[in-house]
């Protein structure tokens, strides 16, 4: 019974159930994109409430993306035990738990409790990532796997595009007090101010909780094609069959570092944009106006992924990945060397060229892994911990040399990604 279902699913993307499954799974990409981009709103919001420096406020990303490192491999093992569908449902319910924990964190209010809620939320997102990404790659022909991932990632970017705008309206509705104004408040007045400001996250995250539970129920009732996690992936060659160690696969090892640096660069840029645009020499904007511009950064990623979903069916993935990484590096460098509208426009444009990087690196990383695909996926998702480390490093850099020039760090990340696209992704199994 299982074997027959797997054979049907692997046969091709023309089977109707595959299209329905793609549509359902794509909603998951939208959801975790929306929740991830809300971190860009939490960064300036919590920074002002708790008077944090850049390095400390970037612990928001450390808490969120650090969960990927801790729970990616366990998630792969869960998939092997209970399958893709049940893992998706469990992941959504864990996300709902994390979202509702924002309410007590706001009531206290406590920065540490916010971090704890983000860890729980990200644990569920990790399970979804490990399950959904490889699931999409096997819902059709292997040659169009990167195209399908780009399509689903486009809807992920739709979520990241909408989130800063919605979050800006709901969470950043009031102008925060300056540091000098906060210092003039008495202790009871300061506590009352923090409780009032922190309470703006309650309604959005209660709504998110309800939506996540509803989506979990919908996935549970939906008949997804059954795919065996440990045995029925793409056929492997003789050399691959002999390789039992993931570290022997060059494209996977180099791709893991590529995911680490890509996610780190993308998250670091997105998380700093609001504060960047409020700088006098850059845009001198209010935080609410700056938040709306962050949507343009993620909108570029969405547009690029729709283009990539079509273009990567005809263009070589490696060449496309290398080229967009070079352009992204040049755009970040231009922003560093300029001010005003040019600095803003070039850093926003990076989103367009970020668009195809994650799905392309992921597809190249798991290429021809066969029955190792689930664990290889877990390894790649684990590398998303770059989003926990690189933004903190950039935050520390910003505290010392300023937020403007701290963007040199993501620029260097794109240099490596260009190497991976042109050279590092050409794979062969390493001899023991």
- Concatenated DSSP letters for 166-231? HHHHHHS-SPPPPHHHHHTS-HHHHHHHHHHHHGGGHHHHHHHHHHHHHHHHHHHHS-PPP--TTT
Bridge partners, 249 (sequence order) = 429
- pLDDT in the model for residue 19: 72
- Rounded CA separation 235/129 (Å): 23
DSSP secondary structure of 79-125: HHHH-HHHHHHHHHHHHHHHHHTHHHHHHTT-HHHHHHHHHHHHHHH
Question: Which residue's structure tokens are 């709504």?
Answer: 207
Task: Say if residues 36 and 28 touch (Cβ distance below 8 Å).
Answer: no
Three-state secondary structure call for residue 249: strand
What pLDDT is stored for residue 117 in this prediction? 95
Distance CA 407, CA 333 (A): 8
Which of residues 368 and 257 earns the better pLDDT score? 257
Give the max Cα distance, the chain: 72
pLDDT at res. 158: 86
Task: Please give the structure tokens belonging to residue 151.
Answer: 């399509």
**Residues 62, 350: Cα–Cα separation, whole Å:** 22
Local confidence band at 3 (pLDDT 50, 70, 90 cut-offs): very low
Name every residue whose Cβ is closer than 8 Å to that of residue 74 and which is 6 or more positions away in sequence.
none
Q: For residue 2, is pLDDT > 60? A: no
> 131-158, pLDDT tens digit by residue?
887 788 777 676 666 677 777 877 887 8
CA distance 97 to 100: 5
Determine the average pLDDT of the residues in 170-178: 69
Instruction: Please report, rounded to a whole number, the percentage of residues in the chain having pLDDT higher than 90.
Output: 38
Tokens at 385, concatenated: 């911990």
Q: Over range 204-221, report the average pLDDT.
A: 93
pLDDT of the residue at 122 = 93
The CA distance from 58 to 70, in Å, is: 18
pLDDT at 178 over 70: no
Whether pLDDT at 13 is above 80: no
Range with lowest mean pLDDT among 58-62, 290-294, 304-308: 304-308
Res 384 pLDDT > 70 = yes
Which of the listed ranges 81-85, 311-315, 369-373 does the model predict with the highest average pLDDT?
A: 81-85
pLDDT at position 277 over 60: yes
Structure confidence at residue 416 as a pLDDT band (50, 70, 90): very high
Query: What values do phi and psi take at 248, rounded to 5?
Result: -85, -10
323 Cβ contact partners less than 8 Å away, ≥ 6 residues apart: 421
Residues 377 and 133: beta-carbon distance below 8 Å: yes
Torsion of CA 87, 305, 41, 330, to 10 degrees: 130
Contact of 309 with 147, CB cutoff 8 Å: yes
Two structure tokens written together for 106: 């706001």
- pLDDT (0 to 100) of residue 135: 80
Class of domain 2-424: mainly alpha
Sketch the domain layout of the chain as residue ranges. 2-424
Q: Average per-residue pLDDT in the chain? A: 83
Q: Kindly tell me if the per-residue pLDDT of 180 is higher than 90.
A: no
Which of 318, 117, 340, 90 lies closest to 219 in space, CA to CA? 90
Determine contact, residues 271/61, Cβ cutoff 8 Å: yes
Task: Identify the residue with better confidence: 324 or 237.
Answer: 324
End-to-end CA distance of the chain: 38
pLDDT, residue 182, reads 66
Confidence of residue 231 (pLDDT cuts 50, 70, 90): very low
SS3 content of the chain, % helix, strand, coil (to 5): 80, 0, 20
Three-state DSSP state, 282:
coil
pLDDT band at 40 (very low <50, low <70, confident <90, very high): confident
Res. 65 pLDDT band, cuts 50 70 90: confident
Range from 8-17, 27-36, 287-296, 388-397 carrying the lowest mean pLDDT? 8-17
Q: How far is CA 15 from CA 3, 8, 220, 270, in A?
A: 16, 8, 21, 38
Poorest-pLDDT segment among 127-141, 264-278, 307-321: 127-141
Phi, psi torsion values for 429, nearest 5 degrees: -80, 125
């Amino acid at each position: 019974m299982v074997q027959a279902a797997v054979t049907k699913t692997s046969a091709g993307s023309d089977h109707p159930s595959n299209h329905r499954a793609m549509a359902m799974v794509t909603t998951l990409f939208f959801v975790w994109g929306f929740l991830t981009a809300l971190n860009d709103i939490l960064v300036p919001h919590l920074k002002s409430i708790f008077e944090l420096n850049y390095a400390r406020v970037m612990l928001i990303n450390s808490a969120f993306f650090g969960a990927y490192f801790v729970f990616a491999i366990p998630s792969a093992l869960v998939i092997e035990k209970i399958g893709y569908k049940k893992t998706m449902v469990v992941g959504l319910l864990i996300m709902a738990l994390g979202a509702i924990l924002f309410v007590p964190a706001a009531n206290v209010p406590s920065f540490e409790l916010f971090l704890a809620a983000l860890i729980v939320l990200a644990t569920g997102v990790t399970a979804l990532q490990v399950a959904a990404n490889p699931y999409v790659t096997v819902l059709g022909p292997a040659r169009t796997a990167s195209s399908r991932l780009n399509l689903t990632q486009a809807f992920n970017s739709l979520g990241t595009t909408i989130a800063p705008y919605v979050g800006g309206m709901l969470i950043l509705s009031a102008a925060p007090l300056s540091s000098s104004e906060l210092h003039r408040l008495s202790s009871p007045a300061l506590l009352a101010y923090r409780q009032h400001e922190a309470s703006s996250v309650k309604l959005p995250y209660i709504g998110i909780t309800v939506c996540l539970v509803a989506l979990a129920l919908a996935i549970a009732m939906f008949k997804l094609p059954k795919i065996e996690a440990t045995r029925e992936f793409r056929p492997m060659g003789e050399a691959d069959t002999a390789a039992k160690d993931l570290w022997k696969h060059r494209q996977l090892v180099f791709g893991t570092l590529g995911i680490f640096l890509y996610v780190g660069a993308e998250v670091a840029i997105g998380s700093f944009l609001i504060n960047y645009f409020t700088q006098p020499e850059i845009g001198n904007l209010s935080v609410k106006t700056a938040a709306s511009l962050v949507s343009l950064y993620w909108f570029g990623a969405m547009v690029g992924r729709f283009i990539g979903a079509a273009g990567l069916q005809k263009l070589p993935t490696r060449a496309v990945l290398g080229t967009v990484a070079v352009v992204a590096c040049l755009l970040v460098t231009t922003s560093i060397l300029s001010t005003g509208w040019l600095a803003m426009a070039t850093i926003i444009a990076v989103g367009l060229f970020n668009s195809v990087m994650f799905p392309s690196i992921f597809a190249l990383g798991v290429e021809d892994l066969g029955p190792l695909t689930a664990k290889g996926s877990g390894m790649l998702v684990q590398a998303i911990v770059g989003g926990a480390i690189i933004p903190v490093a950039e935050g520390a850099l910003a505290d010392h040399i300023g937020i403007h020039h701290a963007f040199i760090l993501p620029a260097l990340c794109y240099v490596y990604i260009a190497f991976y696209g042109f050279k590092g992704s050409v794979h062969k199994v390493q001899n023991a």
